[in-house]
């Protein structure tokens, strides 16, 4: 009898142990994604999640490669030995556009942070990261506004393939209003630029972006007959720009010691050895919000000189005509302009 009881006890223990093991295995968090069960508990979690937003800003690749904001999609430059299909109007309309889906995938991520922030106990601890999410949601929607005009407004974290993404598009004014409100909210939540980590957006960055958005949309509306709407937006642009100006923290990089060569050194400032004035990078207070690169942590990832020089980006006559002459006047008003009968003449006295 004792032997049987012993066997039953052992079996019961084994069954219980196996059950516990299976339960533990089922409760394991996935290793390849963020598990809500142990995330969004601290302000650091919100900061780490928001770090990904900074990889969305435009960079060197957007300038030298084919991208929505690249000059290759204008009538300014073209690749060596090829025609600019955008300039001559022979580009084709694709059946799908990665810029559209990428923007909404990014908007979804900002909406995730904003949704999780609603239930966080101490709002002041994560105010900066809420501001960053609002800034970058506006940033993504501004891309969509410029590319497509009317687009779907989504403020909850839904997938690009969700049925809601097949709804009718919102009017561009609704899109612009969301962008403007997000940037106003961001300006209230973000710390001043001088106090944030290098490379993170600050309050003045939100104001500057607000000014750019309102100037763009205000001009668009004004020249399409919507005078009142245009004026309201242009007033927003002017007031936001004034907020930045009044901080007196930013100025054009023009050290007298460098004279006319200041612009040549502005983009290569690193240490005292890289310029004759012995200036360091901190001497440049021109940028309000910048994308930071690091050789190890955040490399540029493109050979700028090879792409732009070895592959020869050819400029158009329109591009050349945009440059002022040495007397500071445009070519149509300058007496030192040599004309364009010869290619080299265009470059003289410019």
pLDDT in tens, 270-279: 778 888 889 9
For the chain, domains (ranges, CATH) are 40-71+94-250 (1.25.40.390)
- Taking residues 13-32, report their average pLDDT: 53
In our burial notation (b when 16+ CB lie closer than 10 A, e otherwise), range 46-60 reads beebbeebeebeebb
| pLDDT tens-digit readout, 126-179 | 999 999 999 999 999 999 999 999 999 999 999 999 999 999 999 999 999 999
Q: Please count the other Cβ atoms lying within 10 Å of the Cβ belonging to residue 190.
A: 26
Q: What is the mean pLDDT of residues 298-302?
A: 78
Supply the pLDDT for residue 32: 46
Q: Is the pLDDT of residue 332 over 60?
A: yes
Structure confidence at residue 75 (pLDDT): 87
How much of the chain exceeds pLDDT 90, in percent? Answer: 58
Name residues whose C-beta falls within 8 Å of residue 218's C-beta, 6 or more positions apart in sequence: 229, 230, 231, 232, 233, 234, 236, 237
Instruction: State the CB neighbour count (10 A cutoff) for residue 174.
Output: 13
Model pLDDT, residue 161: 92
Summarize pLDDT for 242-292 with one digit per residue, the tens.
999 999 999 999 999 998 889 888 888 877 888 888 998 888 999 999 888
Furthest CA-CA distance within the chain: 118
Neighbours of 172 (CB within 10 A): 17
pTM of the model: 0.82
Tell me which of 53-67, 171-185, 199-213 is least confident.
Answer: 53-67
């Amino acid at each position: 009898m004792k032997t049987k009881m012993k066997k039953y006890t052992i079996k019961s223990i084994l069954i219980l142990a196996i059950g516990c093991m299976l339960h533990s295995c089922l409760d394991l968090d996935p290793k390849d994604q963020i598990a809500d069960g142990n995330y969004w508990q601290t302000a650091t979690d919100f900061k780490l999640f928001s770090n990904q937003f900074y990889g969305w800003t435009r960079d060197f690749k957007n300038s030298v490669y084919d991208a929505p904001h690249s000059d290759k999609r204008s009538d300014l430059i073209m690749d060596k030995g090829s025609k600019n299909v955008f300039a001559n109007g022979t580009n084709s309309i694709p059946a799908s556009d990665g810029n559209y889906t990428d923007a909404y995938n990014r908007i979804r991520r900002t909406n995730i942070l904003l949704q999780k922030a609603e239930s966080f106990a101490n709002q002041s601890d994560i105010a900066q990261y809420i501001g960053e999410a609002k800034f970058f949601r506006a940033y993504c929607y501004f891309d969509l506004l410029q590319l497509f005009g009317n687009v779907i407004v989504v403020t909850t974290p839904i997938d690009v393939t969700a049925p809601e993404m097949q709804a009718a598009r919102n009017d561009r004014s609704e899109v612009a209003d969301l962008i403007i409100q997000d940037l106003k909210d961001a300006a209230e939540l973000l710390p001043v630029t001088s106090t944030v980590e290098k490379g993170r957006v600050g309050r003045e960055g939100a104001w500057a972006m607000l000014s750019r958005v309102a100037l763009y949309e205000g001009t668009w509306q004004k020249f399409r007959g919507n005078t009142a709407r245009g004026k309201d937006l242009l007033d927003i642009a002017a007031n936001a720009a004034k907020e930045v100006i009044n901080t007196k923290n930013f100025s054009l990089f023009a050290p007298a010691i460098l004279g006319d060569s200041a612009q040549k050194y502005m983009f290569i400032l690193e240490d005292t050895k890289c310029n004759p004035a012995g200036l360091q990078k901190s001497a440049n207070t021109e940028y309000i919000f910048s994308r930071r690169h690091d050789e190890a942590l955040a490399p540029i990832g493109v050979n700028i000189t090879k792409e732009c020089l070895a592959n020869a980006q050819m400029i158009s006559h329109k591009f050349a005509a945009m440059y002022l002459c040495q007397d500071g006047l445009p070519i149509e008003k300058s007496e030192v302009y040599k004309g364009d009968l010869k290619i080299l003449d265009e470059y003289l006295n410019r």
